[in-house]
Chains A and B, each alone.
Chain A
């Protein structure tokens, strides 16, 4: 492999990783607070992409109105899902929440299939994301830096909210102990709802960026990115936002590099990802950044 090719692969791996990271953050936030593996998260990504698509294609909005609007709509959907499908089950065994998430995921996919149709739709890239940039012998399209920059900005914003604001403090408190936080006079319902809003907004942003990078959207487009982002979240230490970002980049780079270095093993690519995941879990069960939790007796 030449150095140019390596650079090219690096660029591709990082932009794929940035997308995984954005989606993984939503997983990890919800998990950190509710201990819920929100399997509907990938489908929220899909809804975000569709909302942006219809904004542009049907209502002929320019992208800078359509994209934020799509994020807003998807955020609303995330709130509704939390309110209807998750909140009533909060007191029950976590397997109920998990199943509820799976049911919501089925519902979103099948609704999308009926309403939007199963055939893939062409997502139109805004013109400024379609420029070729040539650096040396490496070619990238302008969406690559855009995706990376957006991801970094969103991640920074999120870190600010979590670490520097009152809501963020409440969120951190919730992830330690929901009950005690409630006793401190914090409205836990509202904070949980807020976390879902944030997670869904990031998922929608991830979905839109995903669709600009891979301009083909269909009702099942969220399944694989969802699963991959989930793996990324676990790699990084589920519940840890920085970990999710690291996990996302790690997974994106691994996926590209495995195929780049061993083309003949490309059929086994996902097996590599899972093997790394399992090995990591065995030797560092809480992921790269996860805290070791003391067993509560």
Chain B
């Protein structure tokens, strides 16, 4: 009964959301659209980081590298031959890549696949490490990927970057990918694989003793995560239409970790909310930098002030919402309905992923 009600509600919400996307895509101005698209990209980044760290307990700092792989694969596959030859004016692009041009969907999938393969290759040796050592090794891999992008000019155009990538990304693609990503990760978590992952997070030795294959499950978390990170990277490349290796500095990974922690480790809802808040806040704080007047006071804009305030906000959230905005809670219909019937069921607050 409850299950059916929830299913109907979920479907209704999806349809409503689809309607909103349709409305937004056709009426909102490009500025708002761009922000909404970035929200989706960062949602994928945060949700995937949550799968690796929040659910499987593997502290990986390789996101920027995986995103770079996805972005470059998609960019090189979707750019027209003419654009490519124009881009590679210092050193020509190697031949098989020069004339490839495929539609967006296969390019997205290939981007994900490539990133997933690279993710698994990185994970294979790195997973022998634990905790912070894993973090350092993956950070190293991510930087190695970036250094390769800078140096392999005939493939990536090096520091010159790529431009004129078709701007295929729109709300349907970005939020479509985000929803698929959330759905698949959510489903994965609720399978026996997911429970094995949580067991590994809670206690590796005990999990292994109980017969859980550490390697298989960690690898699965990495492969799935890297796939979607690659897709998100591809969405980003086709959103801003130009990329270069500097986009994928370890700074990007830090941002993703920050977002995920702000949302709450182990809460996909939290990751989504935090990703949206993060992107929106960065833009909403802009007026601080322009000059404004309060009564007779004329305060000149201080460029750079926005990032100062933003860091303070980030710090405040981390210090005062210590379990993140959502802790390990997930959004669920039961909880939402419980909110309305609060008086009758005073203690019906959810504790943990209750959405079934």
Contacts and interface: CB of A to CB of B under 8 A. Distances in A.
The judgment on whether A and B are partners is yes
Interface of A: 31, 35, 37, 39, 84-85, 88-89, 92-93, 95-96, 98-100, 102-104, 106-107, 110-111, 113-114, 118, 227, 230-231, 234, 238, 267-268, 270-271, 274-275, 277-278, 281-282, 285-286, 295, 297
B315 interface: yes
A274 to B, nearest CB: 4
Contacts of B205: 295, 297
Contacts of B318: 89, 96, 99-100, 103
Given A110-B310, A267-B147, 18 more contacts: A35-B132, A89-B322, A95-B59, A99-B261, A99-B318, A100-B315, A100-B319, A103-B311, A103-B318, A110-B307, A234-B133, A267-B150, A267-B151, A274-B140, A278-B126, A281-B129, A285-B129, A297-B205
B137 A103 contact: no
Chain B binding surface, main DSSP class: helix
A128 B307 CA distance: 40
B141 A278 contact: yes
B133 A95 contact: no
Contact of B136 (A103, A113, A277): A277
Nearest to A104: B315
A217 to B, nearest CB: 17
Contacts of B53: 95
Contacts of B261: 95-96, 99
Nearest to A234: B136
A221 to B, nearest CB: 15
Nearest to A271: B147
Contacts of B265: 93, 95
A270 B143 contact: yes
Nearest to A287: B133
B308 interface: yes
A158 to B, nearest CB: 22
The A interface is mostly helix, strand or loop, or mixed, namely helix
B128 interface: yes
Contact of B128 (A104, A274, A282): A282
A39 B135 CA distance: 13
B268 to A, nearest CB: 16
Nearest to A95: B261
Contacts of A110: 304, 307-308, 310-311
Given A88-B319, A267-B151, A295-B205, A114 B305 contact: yes
A107 B319 contact: no
A99 B137 contact: no
Nearest to A282: B125
Nearest to B259: A99
A287 B323 CA distance: 32
Closest 5 CB pairs of A and B: A274-B140, A107-B311, A106-B311, A110-B307, A103-B315
Interface in B118-137: 125-126, 128-130, 132-133, 135-137
Interface string B39-78: 0000000000000010000010000000000000000000
A106 B136 contact: no
A275 B144 CA distance: 8
A172 to B, nearest CB: 20
B277 to A, nearest CB: 15
B315 A107 contact: yes
B119 to A, nearest CB: 15
Contacts of B257: 95, 98-99, 102
A12 to B, nearest CB: 22
Contact of B133 (A88, A89, A93, A285): A285
Contacts of A107: 308, 311-312, 315
Interface string B161-178: 000000000000000000
A106 B314 contact: yes
B133 A281 contact: yes
A282 B126 CA distance: 7
Given A110-B304, A114-B308, A102 B128 contact: no
Nearest to B153: A267
Contacts of A278: 125-126, 137, 140-141
Contacts of B126: 278
Nearest to A114: B304
Contacts of A96: 261, 318, 322
Contacts of B307: 106, 110, 113
B263 to A, nearest CB: 11
B254 interface: yes
7 contacts: A37-B135, A99-B258, A113-B307, A114-B302, A238-B132, A268-B147, A281-B129
B206 A297 contact: yes
A113 B302 CA distance: 11
A66 B151 CA distance: 42
A35 B131 CA distance: 10
B24 interface: no
A281 B144 CA distance: 16
A274 B141 contact: yes
Interface string B290-328: 000000000000101101101110110011001100000
A113 B289 CA distance: 14
Given A267-B150, A270-B143, A85 B322 contact: no
Residue in A39, A85, A107, A230 with the greatest tally of chain B CB atoms within 10 Å:
A107
B151 A274 contact: no
A267 B59 CA distance: 29
Contacts of A35: 132
A281 B135 contact: no
